[in-house]
Amino acid sequence: MPELAEQAILDFYTYPPIGGDDWRYTFQTAQVRTLEIQMLSRAALLDMANAENFEQAADLLSGSEYALPRGGKDFAEVEEILQQRRAAVRELFSDLMLDEPTVELFRTRDDFANLRLAVRRTMTEKPLGTDYSSGGNVPPELIEQIFSEEDVFSKPVFPDYVQEAVEQAVLAYYQQKDIRRIDYAIDSVQAQYNLRQARRLRSVFLLGFFRIQIDLTNIRTMLRLKFTESEQPNVFLEGGFIELERFRHGLELGYEALGPLFFVTPYHRIVDTGANYLASNKSFLRVEQQCDEHLTGFLKSTVLITAGPQPIIAFLLMKENEIRTVRLILTAKKNHLDTKLILDRIS
Amino acid sequence: MLANVNATRMELLRLRKRVALASRGHRLLSEKRDELSRQLIRIAREIQPLRKRVEAELLETCRRFMLARATMEPEATKAALEVPTKKFSLAVKFANIMNVKVPHLSKEMEGEIICYGFATTSGEMDVALLALERAFDNLIELAEKEKQARLLAVELQMTRRRVNVLEHVVIPELHETIRFIYDKLAEAERDNISRLMKITDIIRA
């Protein structure tokens, strides 16, 4: 079987290739295309953002799947509905995907989130609890049970990637006794695992997606390190399209010089706009919006696929993004935040 | 007081001493009241802009935090903030303002306030936490000043009541009693003189 061709940054203009059709997914793709029509339009989100108050913004959702119960406009209810919608879309994704490893790959996001919590609690000798997310491959009860036995390493009961993440996180923590090292280690293991799995599944789309995700995370990390004046050049994730040296070099430059540094990459506009906004407004809203927009643009390029897993994965991720956007707008409206802030984040 | 008073010269002398003491106490307490008022006004003037600044900073922190929380997955928010790395300790010393023990707060902080990785968290969370860290200095200063103001206000209220009691109750009553005893003694003296004169008249007749 030939190796999956790795793209370099010069091989594409804005987005890397998304792979070809897979005719096993004809029905599933058609189903997703129908569901895509029901997603909230950009105009609907802008109307919500421009609504006068929370009630008005919530009323705009009345015709959608996020409709709030009549009379109940408590934010806990909103959060509950959003959680339900997210669980439903993930359930639908696992039903539509024919390749079980891809479903498992996306479930690992919850596993890694649970691990961050469990390892942190174990290292700081806090009660482990059972309040973990149940959307992962490892059940929350098992996490609690294994970590409370304190012999995570002797009996490899977790899947390989979890075991590796735990080992790396504990090792990283004891090197400097720094809680943040746990997160850095788990982030790194997660990124490498995602790339490994994408290659194993021979998915050009997933490989491109995860590499873009790593690049965008590194861009945000670079700006955050600069903003907080933190000297940690080794926290960048490996495996993206952009070489790490560029990010490290970016840490030494001023905000105005960052745009030109990334001029030859597809992320030039993100870095330039994000850095300028950060310098003038002391806020990451614009860079995060630009990152989301870039990733959404990549996901939307799956419109060219007639049948395949790409539109289904793209639907899951865009739906999750939509849920986050609805939460953002409703939170902002509930707390009387400035409309400009919402527009800066979502437009 | 008048009903139970012994109209004797000893009592008169004792009351005169009490009046002198009460007058001196009244003068001292009035001075204390004035100084407490001055201190309280000074602190209140400092508190007003400080409170506005702290409220603005905390509002900004909350605003950023809400934006960060809204854009992050709930699991990521929970994992990021579950175990803080910043340690905060507060030392309290006491200073003396007009015999009122007012607290002087000093903080010691160690560790980084940003206690999470970068991949699954929002940059707005960094901004929120850094703003919170900056707000701590002003927040502690505000707490110190407000506590001082509260203690001084209580002391001022107490002192004012003492001054009023001395001025409007104790000293006038003592003066009234002194006048009463003086009158009684003068009357007794006049009785005595008239009795002696009568006896003299009887002897002469």
Could you tell me the two tokens for B146?
Answer: 């407000």
Residue A132 to chain B, least CA–CA distance (Å): 8
Report whether pLDDT(B179) > 90: yes
Residue B145 to chain A, least CA–CA distance (Å): 30
Of residues B137 and A147, which shows the higher confidence score? B137
Q: What percent of chain B has pLDDT over 70?
A: 99
Residue B74 and residue A19: Cα distance in Å, rounded? Answer: 32
Contact B124 A221 (CB under 8 A): no
The per-residue pLDDT for A151 is 63
Residue B19 and residue B50: Cα distance in Å, rounded? Answer: 46
B126 contacts on A by Cβ (under 8 Å) = 224, 227-228, 284
The domain spans of chain A are 2-68+202-346, 100-200
For the entire predicted model, the pTM comes to: 0.83
CB A116 within 8 A of CB A166: no
Nearest C-alpha in B relative to A191: B119
A106 contacts on B by Cβ (under 8 Å) = none
Of residues B2 and A227, which shows the higher confidence score? A227
Contact B118 A328 (CB under 8 A): no
Contact B123 A337 (CB under 8 A): no
- B69, B79, B118: residue with CB nearest A117: B79
The per-residue pLDDT for A155 is 61
CA-nearest of A161, A164, A162, A123 to A140 is A162
CA-nearest of A107, A75, A82 to A320 is A82
What three-state secondary structure class fits A305? coil
Contact B117 A183 (CB under 8 A): yes
Handedness of CA A141, A144, A147, A148 (dihedral sign): negative
DSSP B101: E
Residue A216 to chain B, least CA–CA distance (Å): 9
Decide the pairing of beta strands B100-110 and B87-97: antiparallel
Could you tell me the two tokens for A296?
Answer: 């959404």
The per-residue pLDDT for B47 is 93
Nearest C-alpha in B relative to A124: B83
Residue A138 and residue B32: Cα distance in Å, rounded? Answer: 71
CA-nearest of B75, B130, B119 to A278 is B130
The per-residue pLDDT for B156 is 95
CB B62 within 8 A of CB B129: no
Residue A237 to chain B, least CA–CA distance (Å): 9
What three-state secondary structure class fits A226? helix
CB A109 within 8 A of CB A209: no
What three-state secondary structure class fits A323? helix
CA-nearest of B111, B109, B110 to B140 is B109
Handedness of CA A236, A237, A242, A243 (dihedral sign): positive
φ, ψ at A51 (rounded to 5°): -60, 155
Average pLDDT of the residues in B17-31: 95
Q: Between the CA of residue A54 and those of A61, B73, B124, what are the distances in Å?
A: 11, 21, 22
Q: Choose, out of A45, A112, A120, A183, the residue to mutate when testing the contact with B (most B CBs < 10 Å).
A: A183
The per-residue pLDDT for B96 is 87
> What one-character-per-residue DSSP string does B115-147 give?
-S-SSSS-HHHHHHHHHHHHHHHHHHHHHHHHH
Residue A347 to chain B, least CA–CA distance (Å): 14
Task: Compute, in degrees rounded to 10, the torsion defined by CA atoms B135, A218, B73, A14.
Answer: 130
pLDDT band for B74, please (50, 70, 90 cuts).
Answer: confident
Contact A288 B85 (CB under 8 A): no
Residue ranges in chain A modelled with pLDDT below 50: 1
- B82, B85, B127: residue with CB nearest A282: B127
Q: Choose, out of B58, B118, B120, the residue to mutate when testing the contact with A (most A CBs < 10 Å).
A: B118
Average pLDDT of the residues in B29-34: 94
The per-residue pLDDT for B112 is 83
Could you tell me the two tokens for A155?
Answer: 């009996």
Nearest C-alpha in A relative to B62: A335
The per-residue pLDDT for A3 is 58
Contact B83 A124 (CB under 8 A): yes
> Hey, what amino acid is at A75?
F
The per-residue pLDDT for A1 is 46
